[in-house]
Amino acid sequence: MPSVLAIAAHPDDIEYMMAGTMLLLKQRGWDLHYVNLCDGSRGSTTLSREECAATRLQEAQHACELLGATFYPPIFPDMEAAYNIQNVAKVTAFVRQAKASIVLTQPPIDYMEDHQNSCRLAVSAAFSHGMPNLISDPPVEPYYEPVTVYHCQPVGNRTQLCEVVPPHFYVDVSDVVEQKVELLACHASQKQWLDQSQGMDSYLQALRDVNAETGRMSGVFEFAEGWRKHLHWGFCGPDDDPLREALTDRIRDSE
């Protein structure tokens, strides 16, 4: 069956921005794979780093299980997402293990560096999936089928300079948005942190609100996720667009 790998920075990023599309792909027989590159260890004002990392790992594993995806462990602490060849080799191993046809990741411009660097690592790992002279960590054999990369919307649908980012296309997630909420609710430790650090009075309602805003941007859907397709060179054919093909009846192009 075809495979999709979601690569994000923190535990709960996939649930906020990507999980609706993943749930729809799951319904259509796709094999799901899930990795948060950061361990979440600095996302608390009440837990120690060790306690926070352990709690968030358990929460992410639970969410991944409910999603029906294969889980891969984080590779560095929060705020230490760095673009270097050692980390590219680690993320390349995830892509090769998943044998992904699609990589879903964060946008190249977003409100914080962990998101942006995780995106850079995901893109380079997808590029190197069929590069035998790049030895992954741990070593995994390359594969040579095409990989198409898609970027989700930045947080709040805006750049860090508050500019609205229109996606290339919208995916209707109206009938799975409450499943997304259920997945996000697995990350219960984040309620206190998000309330205090980012003023998100209810992180579960925040998910509904952002998907509703994206739906309004589409002009047709009640709740939506937005996606932009990465340039094909070095990844796939110029006309390859497997996400659009898999969910064609759920998609509206941006005007």
Mean pLDDT score of the chain, rounded to an integer? 95
Number of domains in the chain: 1
What pLDDT digit, counting tens, does each position of 240-253 carry?
Answer: 999 999 999 999 99
142 alpha carbon, distance to own chain's centre: 22
Mean pLDDT for 223-245 is 98
pLDDT per position as a tens digit, 18-38: 999 999 999 999 999 999 999
CA angle 71, 65, 118 (to 5 degrees): 35
Is the pLDDT confidence value at 1 over 80? yes
pLDDT at 196 over 70: no
List the domain range (segments joined by +) for residue 173.
Answer: 3-253
pLDDT confidence of residue 120: 98
With pLDDT > 90 as the criterion, what percentage of the chain qualifies?
90
**Number of Cβ within a 10 Å radius of residue 220:** 11
Q: Are 190 and 43 in contact (CB under 8 A)?
A: yes
Record the tokens describing residue 191, joined without a space: 């309620």
pLDDT of 197 strictly over 60: no
- Element (H or E) spanning 225, and its range? strand 224-229
pLDDT at 213 over 90: yes
Q: Say what angle helices 203-218 and 177-185 make with each other, to 10 degrees.
A: 150
Residue 190 has a pLDDT of 78
Can you give the pLDDT at residue 46? 87
Kindly tell me if the per-residue pLDDT of 68 is higher than 90.
Answer: yes
- Asked if residue 182 has pLDDT above 70, the reply is yes
Q: What is the CATH number of the domain that holds 170?
A: 3.40.50.10320
Nearest alpha-carbon partner for 243 in 25, 81, 29: 25
Between 169-173, 202-206, 218-222, the lowest mean confidence (pLDDT) is in 202-206
The yes-or-no verdict on residue 179 having pLDDT over 70 is yes
Q: For residue 133, what pLDDT band results from cuts at 50, 70 and 90?
A: very high
Mean pLDDT of all residues in 210-235: 98
